[in-house]
Amino acid sequence: MPDLELFFNPKSIAVVGASRTPGKIGYSILENLKITFKGKLYPINPQATEILGLNAYPSVLSVPEPIDLAVIATPAETVKNIVIECIKKKIKAAIIISSGFSEIGEKERELELKNISKGKIRIIGPNCVGIYQKGMDMLFFPRERLKRPADGFISHITQSGAVGSTLLDVIASEGVGIAKFVSIGNKVDVDEIELLDFLEKDVATRAIALYIETINRGKEFVDITKRVVKKKPIVVLKAGKTSKGQEAVLSHTGALAGPAEIYSAAFRQAGIIEAKNTEEMFDYSKALANQPPLADNRIAIVTDGGGYGILATDAAIQTGLELPQLSDSTIKTLKSFLPPHAIAKNPVDLTGDATTERYQQTLEAVFKDKNVSGVVIICLMQVPTITDGIIDVLRDCKMYGKPFVVCATGGSWVQERARKLEGWGVPVYDMPERAVKAMAALRDYGQILKRK
Amino acid sequence: MPDLELFFNPKSIAVVGASRTPGKIGYSILENLKITFKGKLYPINPQATEILGLNAYPSVLSVPEPIDLAVIATPAETVKNIVIECIKKKIKAAIIISSGFSEIGEKERELELKNISKGKIRIIGPNCVGIYQKGMDMLFFPRERLKRPADGFISHITQSGAVGSTLLDVIASEGVGIAKFVSIGNKVDVDEIELLDFLEKDVATRAIALYIETINRGKEFVDITKRVVKKKPIVVLKAGKTSKGQEAVLSHTGALAGPAEIYSAAFRQAGIIEAKNTEEMFDYSKALANQPPLADNRIAIVTDGGGYGILATDAAIQTGLELPQLSDSTIKTLKSFLPPHAIAKNPVDLTGDATTERYQQTLEAVFKDKNVSGVVIICLMQVPTITDGIIDVLRDCKMYGKPFVVCATGGSWVQERARKLEGWGVPVYDMPERAVKAMAALRDYGQILKRK
């Protein structure tokens, strides 16, 4: 069997169930692929000869050229025969968007699909929203309603197309980028384990966010992830942690979820960072994808709002981070240019009249301090003394080689600047506690890398 | 002494330290008051005869008419004499924006201010950003950089002007409204206790969010809040919970913060809901200000994304909420119109092809179920089958008289609709766990109201 490459680098795609009716799933998939995909695109629809300006065919078998990938979005009862045709056409990979399988109790139908495809064609799905990456958008959500993220370094594997797609919309609005997004649905064939193995070698992927309801191959999962995390951090959000939540998993996927403790223990053993909620999953992932790990527990906090410094300090201590004393030479340097009312110790408070230049000078001194392994930078960008030069100052902190995260709280003015920073690989959070927890995730990954 | 009314309903305001230079604090304060305040406005500046088209005076003493409120934004060393002039002018209330008092170690200067003002003039501040409410904006942040919230039902008392103002910016961008915002700074005179007492009687205020670093009168705080919470819920975020955080409080305010446990115990005793972080403070407040309390633990979850249903269920169980079985008649009703692939039990999953009408019918049945005391509604607004009619459907859930919160995850499309809902008093959250925790706060307040 070929590896998963054909799913991500096909030269040609057939959209089976392509529709001429705007609003239909089969129309949206074709439309979004047409906008993004540079290879050959074949709409398959027995009732049409042309859709969206492309030649349509009644079946994959009537397409004269070879097809690398089939995207199937037809009623569940038709999928089996379509897959048989795909096998006949020697298509090696299919993504089945269609729902109506084990998630609604149709276990027989899913088993049949598994049996006919096994060893003949690789399948992602059914009951999924497929793949999103640079040059390949098959999400059926309208682009004006659900924004697509830019190209980036996080890859996201999700067992829920709805959770995954709407989170893409959130991170797109934050300016965070995506390398590969894969909705695995009922995972009749390709599962999270094989994808983790694949993403380990994917040059675009620097961190992996995983939303999972059930893991069917526990031992393989731990074995593979133990190896992957040596190269790339994995953040997991496990849904179905409570027994009532596990019942909901059964309703949703038709699969049994085990007790939360077993999962959490396996994640710890594998060196996976567990997110406690949806927010943490991408909060951690965007830091891990863009920043080096934190070498130990020692961070500095630099702020221009005293209250923020206190909140961040509380959060840091609560997550096991430490705020070491700054070295004497750093304090001396800081005192040489800071006004007397600023606080030249950790947390450093530049106070409300802080200028962009004061940030630049302070950050240089603090980053270079040997007592400091990473910096949480809090900046109230609304004050008039902070110019847009702050974006360059924060971006350029990369040169110090130590991890840093930024907290900037506010509305559209701040969000616009945060998006620019995200584009430069600087993770920005709207609340101090979120920024600090992301730094703690960088510490956790540092510890995972040190394991034997 | 008059009560605090003059701070909030002055007929005339003098801005001492009004500046002619755009970008200066004394300019911004005057400019923003000029835009919002309908009474008489007197710029005080010895070097000017006119600022922003208003007659300027060298001192409050040279203003021919009476002045209700002075807003002072001059260098710290000049404040004492200005306050003495205010007393001579029989001004009964002053807000001192100026910093440079105990927060930078100038305890003597602050004590002097306390002594000269005591019994003669009421003071908010120093070291604060003052008051923001309908008809009175004295925040010195430029309006294009820091958005102002609409008129609403949350009042916010904050010991940190920076934290408070930037959170105003966040909630303004969410479409959440504010009744009164008061930055209390070093609280040389008026403190959170007196303000809580005042807000108890304020008709515009339905919930109070309090950010606090130190409480100086512990017993009075508990006594007053015990009474206030019988009428209005109070959410508190206590900064300086760790010993390192307490050190930072000392640097910031010059005041000592006690151990977190003592504060938390006092909050529980008083019936105050404690937010663990910045995000929770307004997440809870906006639910409490707009929704009735949850009578018991029993909630239903209605979703069109199965994964979201599982995440919300987990979060509900983890916060001590229960998902009771729906009554037989509700299930019968749901099954009469739901498609077979939808899940007609709690959590109710309308699945990805849910329509606005399906939500309306389902919500009616679920809200009317006697087993259900409140509803967490999750809605993927990006799917084409959800029309803008969903806004009316969600808004009208108010008629059932039970509390509800909404989770809608996404970018600009969703955020625009969420803002409309917030305008109707429907609390909307971007993540399922945030929505559920807000519902748990409504449960907590219900339990507080039941106490003897």
Comparing alpha-carbon positions, the chain A residue that sits nearest to B305 is: A162
For B288, residues 6+ apart whose C-beta sits below 8 A from its C-beta are: B206, B207, B233, B235, B273, B441, B442, B445
CB contacts < 8 A, A to B, total 253
- A414/B169 CB distance under 8 A: yes
pLDDT at B76 over 60: yes
Q: Do A317 and B242 touch (CB under 8 A)?
A: yes
CB-CB under 8 Å, A382 with B413: no
Q: Which residue of A has its CA nearest to B417?
A: A145
pLDDT given at position B452: 79
Q: Is B144 exposed, middle or buried (0-12, 13-18, 19+ CB in 10 A)?
A: exposed
CB contact under 8 A, B410 and A166: yes
Chain B nearest CA to A440, separation (Å)? 16
Interface contact A310-B240, CB threshold 8 A? yes
Residue B1: pLDDT above 60? Answer: no
- Among B278, B352, B380, the residue with its CB nearest the CB of A311 is B278
Helix axes A306-318, B243-253, angle to 10 degrees: 170
Q: Do A340 and B104 touch (CB under 8 A)?
A: yes
CA–CA separation, A146 vs A136, rounded Å?
15
- For A307, which residue in chain B has the nearest alpha carbon? B160
Residue carrying the six token digits 């694949």: A198
The conformational region for residue A289 under phi > 0 = left, psi -120 to 50 = alpha, else beta, is alpha
Euclidean distance between CA atoms B20 and B17, whole angstroms: 10
Query: With contacts defined as CB-CB under 8 Å, which chain B residues touch A280?
Result: none
Instruction: Tally the C-alpha atoms within 13 A of residue B12's C-alpha that lie toward its C-beta.
Output: 17
Nearest to A52 by CA among A14, A18, A101: A18
| Contact (CB<8Å) A323/B382 | no
pLDDT higher than 60, residue B2: no
- Measured CA to CA, the distance from residue B54 to residue B42 in angstroms comes to 7
Residue whose structure tokens are 């403190």? B191
Q: Could you tell me the two tokens for A233?
A: 């951090």
**Backbone φ and ψ of B182, nearest 5°:** -130, 120
- The whole-number pLDDT of residue B65 equals 98
Q: Which residues of A42-67 are buried (b: 16+ CB within 10 A; e: fewer)?
A: bbbbeebeebbebebbebbeebeeeb
Class of domain A1-128: alpha beta
Using an 8 Å Cβ cutoff, are B300 and B372 in contact? yes
Residue of B349, B338, B326 lying closest to A253 (CA atoms): B349
Interchain proximity A307–B431, CB inside 8 Å: no
Contact B311 A172 (CB under 8 A): no
Suggest the residue from B99, B110, B132, B166 to mutate for an interface test with chain A (most A CBs closer than 10 A).
B166
Show the CA angle centred on residue B346, arms to residues B343 and B352, nearest 5°: 40
What is the CATH topology of the domain spanning A292-450? Rossmann fold (3.40.50)
Considering only CB atoms, which chain A residues are within 8 Å of B345?
251
Tokens standing for residue B296: 């018991």
Residue B96: which of B72, B80, B120, B74 has the closest Cα?
B72
Choose among B385, B317, B312: nearest CA to B349: B312
Indicate yes or no: CB of A433 within 8 angstroms of CB of B278: yes
Task: Give A419→chain B minimum CA distance, Å.
Answer: 13
Query: For position B450, what pLDDT does the model report?
Result: 96
Can you tell me whether residue A289 is helix, strand or coil? helix
Q: If one looks up domain B146-290 in CATH, what number appears? A: 3.40.50.261
Residue A27: both structure tokens together: 């129309």
Q: Spell out the residues 6+ positions from residue B154 whose beta carbon is closer than 8 angstroms to its own.
A: B171, B176, B177, B178, B179, B205, B206, B207, B208, B209, B282, B285, B286, B289
Question: What is the distance between the alpha carbons of residues A440 and B388, in angstroms, rounded to a whole number?
Answer: 41
Reference B197, options B428, B60, B4; nearest CA is: B4
Segment-wise mean pLDDT, segments of 10 residues, chain A, 452 residues: 86 98 94 98 97 98 98 98 98 97 94 97 97 97 96 98 97 98 97 97 97 92 96 97 87 72 91 98 98 98 96 97 98 97 95 95 98 98 94 98 98 98 97 98 98 85
| CA atoms of B313 and B436, how far apart (whole Å) | 9
Tokens of A143: 């682009």
Report the gap between the CA of A106 and the closest CA in chain B (Å): 10
The verdict on a CB contact (< 8 Å) between B307 and A341 is no
Flag if B251 and A433 touch (Cβ within 8 Å): no
ipTM summary value: 0.96
Q: How far is A43 from chain B (nearest CA, A)?
A: 22
CB B100 within 8 A of CB B94: no
SS3 for A285?
helix
CB contact under 8 A, A412 and B173: yes
Nearest chain B CA: its distance from A278 CA (Å): 7
Q: Assign residue A353 a region (left: φ > 0; alpha: ψ between -120 and 50; beta: otherwise).
A: alpha
B147 and A413 in contact by Cβ < 8 A?
A: yes
Tell me the domain boundaries of chain B. Answer: 1-128, 146-290, 292-450
Closest C-alpha among A135, A231, A236 to residue A178: A135
Residue listed under structure tokens 């290879």: A39
- The pLDDT tens digits of the residues spanning B356-375 come to 999 999 999 999 999 999 99
- Residues in A touching B315 (Cβ below 8 Å): 277
B431 pLDDT above the threshold of 90: yes
Q: Which residue of A has its CA nearest to B282?
A: A431
Least confident of A92-96, B264-268, B309-313, B389-393: B264-268
Tell me the C-alpha distance between A199 and A208, whole Å. Answer: 8
Q: What per-residue confidence (pLDDT) applies to A246?
A: 87
In chain B, residues with a C-beta closer than 8 Å to the C-beta of A159 are 307
Q: Give pTM, 2 decimals.
A: 0.96
Name every residue whose Cβ is closer than 8 Å to that of residue A67 and which is 6 or more positions away in sequence: A12, A13, A14, A42, A60, A86, A89, A91
CA distances from A267 to A185, A215, A256, B252 (A): 21, 11, 18, 40
B chain contacts of residue A317, beta-carbon cutoff 8 Å: 242-245
Q: Tell me the two tokens of residue A86.
A: 């795909």
Length of chain A: 452
B29, pLDDT greater than 80: yes
Q: Which residue has the tokens 């989770």?
A: B407
pLDDT at A250: 80
Q: Which residues of A touch B161 (CB under 8 A)?
A: 352
Least confident of A51-55, A100-104, B37-41, B393-397: A100-104
pLDDT at B447: 97
